[in-house]
């Protein structure tokens, strides 16, 4: 994995991670992907993290102080590493240490807030009220905690293509999804199988 200040192999300036995971935590894990036998990190800067969070509807609270982007990058990558470890451990049936995740959750201060949705109806939401980085990463930590404690882990899957490391939450009706994307890995696998049969 590349250092925070270096552009990782295979990453192009302005490139963004595909949102194929059907779950916030899976999309966070997928900000690292494999390309041409090397791992690409789409979080190359604090600005990359802020843009990715905004794509998922996570923004700095109103009147928040400007975020320290270097610190955000370090903490976001640390949370992603923690999430990957905990997801893998949960898939194996046992999570060893939950306290590192609780540290992120404890720092995420929020309060109930009444607002109107896009249709003008009243909706109860929570608004972050704490320190900027904790407010930005808190929703990720909360989504991870809910995934680990409440969601069906049989539906947490990794793409079956041998060259892919992407994760997804299988929301298909039959729960038989195998690929991060049929258009990419599914077709690549089928083409490889066809070539194998043709040459045999």
In this prediction, residue 200 carries a pLDDT of 57
In this prediction, residue 199 carries a pLDDT of 63
In this prediction, residue 195 carries a pLDDT of 55
In this prediction, residue 8 carries a pLDDT of 39
In whole numbers, what is the pLDDT of the chain averaged over residues?
87
pTM of the full structure = 0.84
Sign of CA dihedral 5, 9, 11, 17: negative
**CB-based contact 163:34 (threshold 8 Å):** yes
Distance CA 42, CA 40 (A): 6
**C-alpha 45, offset from chain centre:** 16
In this prediction, residue 75 carries a pLDDT of 98
22 has a pLDDT exceeding 90: yes
What crossing angle do the helices spanning 69-91 and 132-150 adopt, rounded to 10°?
10
Distance CA 63, CA 187 (A): 47
| pLDDT tens digits for range 120-159 | 999 998 888 889 999 999 999 999 999 999 999 999 999 9
Q: Are strands 156-158 and 167-169 parallel, antiparallel or unpaired?
A: antiparallel
The residue with greater pLDDT, 97 or 60, is 97
Per cent of the chain over pLDDT 70 is 84
Question: Going by C-beta distance under 8 Å and a sequence separation of 6 or more, which residues neighbour residue 195?
Answer: none
| pLDDT tens digits for range 71-90 | 999 999 999 999 999 999 99
């Amino acid at each position: 994995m590349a250092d925070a200040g270096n552009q990782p192999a295979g990453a192009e300036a302005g490139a963004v991670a595909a949102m194929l995971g059907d779950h916030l935590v899976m999309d966070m894990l997928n900000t690292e992907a494999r390309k041409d036998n090397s791992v690409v990190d789409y979080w190359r800067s604090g600005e990359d993290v802020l843009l990715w969070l905004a794509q998922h509807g996570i923004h700095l609270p109103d009147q928040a102080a400007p975020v320290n982007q270097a610190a955000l990058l370090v903490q976001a990558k640390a949370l992603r590493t923690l999430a990957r470890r905990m997801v893998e451990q949960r898939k194996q049936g046992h999570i060893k240490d939950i306290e590192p995740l609780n540290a992120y959750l404890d720092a995420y201060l929020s309060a109930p807030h009444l607002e109107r949705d896009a249709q003008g109806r009243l909706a109860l939401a929570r608004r972050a009220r704490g320190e900027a980085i904790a407010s930005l990463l808190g929703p990720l930590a909360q989504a991870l905690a809910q995934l680990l404690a409440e969601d069906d882990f049989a539906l947490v899957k990794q793409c079956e293509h041998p060259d892919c490391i992407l994760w997804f939450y299988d929301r298909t009706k039959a729960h038989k999804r195998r690929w991060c994307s049929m258009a990419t890995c599914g077709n690549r696998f089928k083409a490889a199988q066809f070539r194998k049969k043709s040459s045999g």
